[in-house]
Structure 1
């Protein structure tokens, strides 16, 4: 299935990419190689490629239909973007808009775009290239951008991000144009979307990283963005990826949200899980374990 329904909210999974993103040791310097090998039986092939120790990831958008509106959670990498220090995302030419259309969504149908944070693989389809200009892909949408990230990643500001090189050009081609078009709203603190959805901060991965809480008809979910990249971080939430701007804060946010999900039986929906994409968890000692996967079909990928 491409879609599931929680309460009054329909959730549809739209893939831009699924396959090897980088090496496990490069992306997860905190995770011992022996731990990965010990979990081979269930990590491969959805989350790990044993032949080359590859981190297998999905880049995807979650389409939510809630309270009469069409909402996109994160917009992937985008096409034709110059990414000199992120070669895996450089000059893509994917059929993402076709995938959206097959899910019943045309660009003009989108009412709201939520960027959980402003990394390269979460904002790319905010804009498309028309001639020599980057223009908003979703002309009727409001783009919700975390204020803390907008200020942190703005190259004209005073901040100096730890991973600035790997996100070169992202602000200029995928963030600034929607702000200049008058479509962006900068939010902070808490943002109520509707009776089913609200945004809350979860800083660490970036200063403005956020999570979207769904609570409808007795069903719950938390869209965690980049708090999680691999299920191994469920077993040991202290394991960070190598792209945390504030590692200690990232660990604290990850544990807090996983505790919430376990205690409230909320579906955990990370941005980049392959396989079935989302899972329910329970506490297991100091970590967590998966009790069941979402009913989405397993991601069918292609390797670049």
Structure 2
């Protein structure tokens, strides 16, 4: 019996690494005003380069939920796991989803049993949802042969945080089952970052959460950077002071964003936005007194 050919996912090449985008769901128009309240329609429409990919003519932001999958250092890696199916969430856009994310991941050549490493940029509901799936009424790890990785600072922060019920529910269904299975690894991430395997580094980008990390890929002199929620939307390139309503430390989040953008501007580094609508990726270039994104469309 022949194994069916993988269905191509949107992808980008970084040296010898092919980074695939695994789509989950487009987020509704109300997401922008809630998440980035300072990104007013006037501020958005003034940046004509945001249209048509990243915002509409009225200044409504386009936002997306997806993961990135790739092979590096012999490991099959997934960065962030989206919202998940069947999760009870306070945010109606995330509540009790029924998407074909897992089928898409599998068809793209990353069946759950084949994933070796799951990198979690931080522990928010829309980044950990597919950590688990429901089997016979229980939440079990979706990737049973993988190590799940997040920063030690991130897990330790939430361990002492006074959570509301919605966040406690998220930990119960999407984090605790992974810990109980002995699959969660905590990594110390110093100021200069830490190499997980050759070609894969975690960079500290605190503020959105205290232990937030970005993910850097390097191969044959080429570099890519997966933002996580240090940057939610390309409008923040033009206005780095625009932060998210859920930033734990807004000032630190802005400082991390400015430092990251400064390090990327004018380089050939490919930026892959964890919530950027298609084309999702681009290069940071100077624009006025800040930056803009020069899109790099996916193949596939």
Is TM-score (shorter-chain normalized) higher than 0.5?
Answer: yes
Aligned twin of 2:137? 132
> How far has the Cα of 1:165 moved from its partner?
6.0
1:23 to 1:213, Cα distance in 2 relative to 1, 3 A? closer
CA distance in 2, matches of 1:110, 1:21: 33
Aligned twin of 2:114? 109
Secondary structure of the equivalent of 1:113?
Answer: strand
CA distance in 2, matches of 1:76, 1:24: 17
Q: Does 1:27 align with 2:30?
A: no
Aligned twin of 2:72? 66
Aligned twin of 1:91? 96
Task: Count matched residues.
Answer: 289
1:297 to 1:242, Cα distance in 2 relative to 1, 3 A? farther
CA distance in 1, matches of 2:263, 2:34: 30
CA distance in 1, matches of 2:238, 2:258: 11
Answer yes or no: is the 8 Å Cα contact 1:188–1:201 preserved in 2: no
1:165 to 1:250, Cα distance in 2 relative to 1, 3 A? farther
CA distance in 2, matches of 1:131, 1:261: 46
Runs of 5+ unmatched residues, structure 1: 299-304
> How far has the Cα of 1:284 moved from its partner?
3.0
1:245 to 1:21, Cα distance in 2 relative to 1, 3 A? farther
Aligned twin of 1:237? 240
Answer yes or no: is the 8 Å Cα contact 1:20–1:55 preserved in 2: no
Aligned twin of 1:217? 220
CA distance in 1, matches of 2:138, 2:219: 40
TM-score, scaled relative to structure 1:
0.88
> How far has the Cα of 1:297 moved from its partner?
5.7
Answer yes or no: is the 8 Å Cα contact 2:32–2:63 preserved in 1: no
Answer yes or no: is the 8 Å Cα contact 1:178–1:184 preserved in 2: yes
Aligned twin of 2:295? 293
TM-score, scaled relative to structure 2:
0.90
Which segment is superposed worse, 166-175 or 129-138? 166-175
RMSD between aligned alpha carbons? 2.0
Aligned with residue 15 of structure 1, among 6, 23, 39: 23
Aligned twin of 1:192? 195
